Amino acid sequence: MSTFLQQISCEFDENYSVLIEDDGRVAYAYLLEYGDVIGDVWLYNQEAAPMDSNWANQSSPYLNPAEYLDKGAAISPIRNEKEVRCEWTESLNDGSIEVGIWLRDKFIAQVNAGSKPGWSVLVVKDGPLALVY
């Protein structure tokens, strides 16, 4: 299993960044403000998705269980920084930061300030790790 870690700064506000972390089991994106996590979203599992959602049977960070995942969604682990792109915007509603996460030119997830969790195109059911996009 491969691991990956990359921090990507917001292009128009240096106080914000996204930390993409794949520990060899599961990948997450963390939206940071002044280095503090203000939003997060599950990106993909490297290990097989658990068949049940009993968190007591897992260690943190948690794999997203099969019941939440789109059956056809399979993402290869990130190998290098060129495979990741972030699109930063400010919310029209309140000016808060939003970031879209693209892997290999495919939109995967969005995380906003305060969204714990954010949204993923790889899930078919809202859960504690990602909401349906």
Q: What is the pLDDT of residues 65-98, one digit of tens each?
A: 999 999 877 889 999 999 999 999 998 888 889 9
Distance (Å) of CA 58 to CA 25, 26, 42, 46, 80: 11, 12, 15, 14, 27
Per-residue pLDDT tens digits for 21-73: 999 999 999 999 999 999 999 999 999 999 988 888 888 999 999 999 998 77
Residue ranges per structural domain of the chain: 4-132
With 0.85 as the threshold, say if the pTM is over it.
yes
